[in-house]
Amino acid sequence: MQTLSVLGATGSIGLNTLDVVRSNPSLFNVFALTGHAQVEKLAELCIEFAPSYAVVMSQKAASQLKPLIAHLDVEVLIGVEGLEYVASHAAVDTVMAAIVGAAGLKPCLAAAQAGKRILLANKESLVMAGQLFIEQVKLNNATLLPVDSEHNAIFQSLPLDYQQDYLHKSISDFGVSSIILTGSGGPFRDTPLQELASKTPAQAVAHPNWSMGQKISVDSATMMNKGLEFIEACYLFSVAPEFIEVLIHPQSVIHSMVRYQDGSVLAQMGQPDMRTPIAHTMGFPERLSTKVQPYDFVTGGDFSFSQPCEARYPNLYLAKQAFKQGQETTTVLNAANEVNVAAFLNNQIGFTEISQLNQLALETYQPHKATCIEAILSIDTEARHTANQLIAQHRRVN
Ligand code: NAD
Ligand code: MG
């Protein structure tokens, strides 16, 4: 029986995690559920899973939640301190880190410092503070298992010997020659380039294969998601950028691959359903059952592959360049991208302006070296400020 805190329980990954719990009720005891503002959803989940704690981010949300669950023995906590508390509590074995964006960093770090088993969906933790975060995981003997489907696929395609304690090992000692990160190319893969500028938020979030939160769906359309995943892979598997190939695979059945020196390529495949990688991390090294339908190769259609081109996906290339500058620069890019994606979703800027304004933010704000999380978070704050100013300037001119 594992005792589990689900951070970001009301989101897409959080709900899929709880569905895996539903399929394996004797294996998990839910200790805490957290959400930002979807109080009713969180109340429903509390009623179903009876956690000891529920965490929301404001006093207002807490006072809305409390009457809905007054009949239960659930303590309601508020804010980042509440998230850190349930991520590091002595009773907790496993933390599902599924908050979206920079807000996930501090609770992830608290889980690492408390030596927890961390199931990492929040890729932003690695993008912002890859070095510092991994250092803390190692120092405190925490376990880090990748939930992101590509990294989970890569992990599954590596030998068991490597998987055990992998942060202390080098994949080149296991005959690996490269990692192939696959991505669908998003909903605008075949859209004529000159039409991209007029794409709307509704069109951008309609992902062809995966059902996900809004922010990551827009990131899939610009391939910033693949850029963030590129950075995530460099930190998780401790490899140089040259070690990673990015390929477009529109069907999203091969979730990523590993090439070996003898010419072998191992892939992990399956339905594009996050319950598979989530269940893999929840059960590791055992396999859990899920409600995911088996992939049918006969009706599933052909697989195809192509190279992502820079003119269509400038964000992917910005991310690769930023990685070479270090975690301070990737923090700036991540912050600017969060601000610009939110502005796009609010119809304040156009689709192609997301990457243009990301690039401008990187050129405008050059961060100092950061040696602690507080310094990373202050770069994040300043970069958001810069990004907001650039949007305001841009809107005055256009
Ligand atoms: P989502 O928007 O559906 O859910 C986000 C969750 O975080 C919600 O529970 C929300 O209440 C909470 N949250 C949002 N802002 C918060 C804040 N400021 N403070 C505290 N909590 C906050 O997002 P998602 O699609 O589930 O993605 C979650 C994470 O998993 C992201 O980092 C994403 O990149 C990653 N991820 C998602 C998928 C996917 O298929 N959805 C796949 C791979 C990785
Ligand atoms: Mg992914």
Condensed to tens digits (0 to 9), the pLDDT of residues 217-233 reads 999 999 999 999 999 99
Residue 13 shares a structural domain with residue 66: yes
Based on the domain organization, do 141 and 155 belong to the same domain? no
Query: Which residue, among 237, 268, 274, has the nearest Cα to 253 in the 3D structure?
Result: 268
Q: Which of 147, 211, 212 to mutate to test the pocket of ligand 1 (most atoms within 8 A of CB)?
A: 212
What pLDDT, on the 0 to 100 scale, is given for residue 34? 98
The token duo for 370 is 């950061």
Alpha helices (H) in 284-350, listed in sequence order: 314-325, 327-345
> Which residue's alpha carbon is nearest to atom 41 within ligand 1?
212
**Distance from the alpha carbon of residue 64 to the mean position of ligand 2, in angstroms:** 34
Residue 102 confidence (pLDDT)? 87
Q: Locate the ligand 1 atom nearest the alpha carbon of residue 13 and give its number.
A: 26
Same domain, residue pair 295 and 179: yes
Whole-number average pLDDT of the chain: 96
What is the 3-state composition of the chain as percent helix, strand, coil, each rounded to the nearest 5? 50, 15, 35
Q: Poorest-confidence range of 45-59, 182-196, 201-215, 320-334?
A: 201-215
CA–CA separation, 237 and 72 (whole Å): 43
Residue nearest to atom 25 of ligand 1 (CA): 213
Q: Examine the domain organization and report whether 381 and 333 are in the same domain.
A: yes
Domain, as residue range, for 37: 2-146
Residue pLDDT, tens place only, 66-93: 999 999 999 999 999 999 999 999 999 9
Q: What is the CATH number of the domain that holds 350?
A: 1.10.1740.10
> What one-character-per-residue DSSP string does 248-265 give?
E-TT--EEEEEEETTS-E
> What pLDDT is attached to residue 155?
98
Q: Using 50, 70 and 90 to split pLDDT, how confident is the model at 37?
A: confident
E strand map for 263-302: 265-269
Band of pLDDT at residue 208, cut at 50, 70 and 90: confident
pLDDT at 213 over 90: no
Q: Which atom of ligand 1 is nearest to the CA of 15?
A: 26
Strands laid side by side in the 176-183 sheet: 244-248, 176-183, 254-260, 265-269
Residue 166 pLDDT: 97
Q: Are residues 201 and 246 in the same domain?
A: yes
Instruction: Give the model confidence (pLDDT) of 253-302 as tens digits.
Output: 999 999 999 999 999 999 999 999 999 999 999 999 999 999 999 999 89
Confidence of residue 149 (pLDDT cuts 50, 70, 90): very high
Of 325, 353, 383, which one is at a domain's C-terminal end?
Answer: 325
Give the number of the ligand closest to the Cα of residue 216. 1
Domain count, the chain: 3
pLDDT tens by residue, 301-340: 899 999 999 999 999 999 999 999 999 999 999 999 999 9
- The proportion of the chain whose per-residue pLDDT surpasses 70, expressed as a percent, equals 100
pTM confidence score: 0.95
Does residue 80 have its Cβ closer than 6 Å to ligand 1? no
Contact 381, 374 (CB under 8 A): no
Residues with CB under 5 A from ligand 2 (ion): 148-150
Rounded Cα–Cα distance for residues 226 and 229 (Å): 5
pLDDT tens profile 90-108: 999 999 999 998 899 999 9
State whether 305 and 164 are in the same domain.
Answer: yes
Instruction: Give residue 113's pLDDT band: very low, low, confident or very high (50, 70, 90).
Output: very high
Which residue has the least CA distance to atom 31 on ligand 1?
100
Same domain? 182 vs 134 = no
Helix (H) or strand (E) holding 54: strand 53-56
- Domain end point (choices 111, 146, 181): 146
Same domain, 167 and 278: yes
Contact 391, 340 (CB under 8 A): yes
* Per-residue three-class SS string for 194-244: HHHHHCCHHHHCCCCCCCCCHHHHHHHHHCHHHHHHHHHHHHHCCCCHHHE
pLDDT range class, residue 210, cuts 50, 70, 90: confident
Question: Which residue type, as a one-letter code, is found at position 328?
Answer: E
Domain co-membership, 370 together with 291: no
Give residue 397's pLDDT band: very low, low, confident or very high (50, 70, 90). Answer: confident
C-alpha neighbours within 13 Å on the C-beta side of residue 259: 11
Q: What is the pLDDT of residue 237?
A: 97
- Rg of the Cα atoms in the chain: 20
Choosing from 325, 344, 364, the residue where a domain stops is 325
Q: How far is CA 171 from the centre of its chain?
A: 22
Least confident piece of the model among 26-30, 42-46, 378-382, 394-398: 394-398
Q: What is the pLDDT of residue 137?
A: 97
Residues 135 and 231 both lie in one domain: no
pLDDT of 207 over the 90 cut: no
Report CA(389)–ligand 2 centroid distance (Å).
30
Q: For residue 4, give Cα distances in angstroms to 14, 88, 114, 118, 307.
A: 12, 11, 14, 10, 40
One domain, residues 382 and 240: no
Q: Is the pLDDT of residue 211 over 80?
A: no
The response to whether 150 counts as a known ligand-binding position is yes
